[in-house]
Amino acid sequence: MAGTIDWQASGALATVTLSNPARMNAMTRAMWRQLREVFSQISERTDLRCVLVQGGGAHFCAGGDISEYPTFRFDPAALMHFHEAEVWGGLQAMLDCPLPVLALVRGNCMGAGLEIASCCDLRLGAASSVYGAPIARLGFPMAPREAALVQQAVGPATAQAMLLAAERFDAAHMLQCGFLAWNTPDAMVQTQADALLRRMEGLSPQAAPPVPAAGAHVACGLCLCAKPATPRGRASVFRQAPAGFLTYTRMLWFVHCQLVCWRTG
């Protein structure tokens, strides 16, 4: 069964579920496109007050569905379309959502799952949840805007450990670095999420002011977007990474593209 992004509205709450059970909810290309459509629909609704993002079953999202990678990974044009139109299209739709978004994280939150969680305003993690971006094991870097998004959410040290050393971190570490707002015992995580959402439904979704970008826009080579920050400043996060970090990811991306061109002649 192909993966899907399911969503439903119940009162003022929209619940978005990443569902690809056979692959721990790994994101397929179709799921990235669905993510964009789902959040575009949610953003148009005037009766909603908050959004919950969760994985179906025991995991949030184990990353990208690498079984699809051979079909586009070594085609430069297809690779660019995947990251800029499909992946970033889905992430940008989340960043543009005017409602507060809560990620409920159980199990694995890796790679693509970490990027999706990074787009949320609040993150509640089960104590047994695990986080990382072991893309180095696949032999290529994370795309620059995606890397900057993750770096802004988890902090430079944790991001570099994830990307360069394929390090995995537990919920206690992610709470300490500021990625998680709550680290909750597994048996209580759904109860706490429900209580938070009930509280948020009765509050103003515009309560948090926009967060201005820190300093001037940092061009990343692939980043062609110059949109101003949307509510709560989420859309500006990929522009706030230190120049050195983006320079590193830009360099890796350039080298990767050169290898792609060399391999494909």
Rounded to two decimals, what is the model's pTM? 0.83
- For residue 109, pLDDT beyond 70: yes
In a domain, 209, yes or no: no
In a domain, 208, yes or no: no
- Whether residue 201 contacts residue 13, with contact meaning beta carbons closer than 8 Å, is answered with yes
- For residue 217, pLDDT beyond 60: no
DSSP state of 186: G
- For residue 195, pLDDT beyond 70: yes
In a domain, 260, yes or no: no
In a domain, 239, yes or no: no
pLDDT value at residue 68: 86
pLDDT value at residue 138: 83
In a domain, 235, yes or no: no
pLDDT value at residue 225: 39
- Whether residue 197 contacts residue 52, with contact meaning beta carbons closer than 8 Å, is answered with yes
139-193 pLDDT, tens per residue? Answer: 778 899 999 999 999 999 999 999 999 999 999 999 999 999 999 999 999 999 9
79 vs 118: CA distance, rounded Å: 22
**Number of structural domains found in the chain:** 1
Percent of all residues in the chain with a pLDDT value above 90, rounded to a whole number: 66
DSSP for 51-102 reads EEEEESTT-SB-SB-GGGGGGTTT-HHHHHHIIIIIIHHHHHHHHH-SS-EE
Please give the average per-residue pLDDT across 187-205, as a whole number: 94
- What range defines the domain where residue 50 resides? 4-201
78-105 pLDDT, tens per residue? Answer: 888 999 999 999 999 999 999 999 999 9
Going by C-alpha positions, the residue among 146, 26, 13, 45 that lies closest to residue 89 is 146
E runs forming strands in the chain: 4-10, 13-19, 50-55, 101-105, 108-110, 122-126, 130-132, 168-170, 182-184
In a domain, 117, yes or no: yes
259 in helix, strand or coil?
Answer: helix
pLDDT value at residue 210: 53
In a domain, 249, yes or no: no
pLDDT value at residue 207: 74
pLDDT value at residue 231: 47
Q: What CATH number corresponds to the domain at position 161?
A: 3.90.226.10
In a domain, 179, yes or no: yes
Model confidence at 2, pLDDT cuts 50, 70, 90, reads: confident
39-71 pLDDT, tens per residue? Answer: 999 999 999 999 999 999 999 999 999 888 888
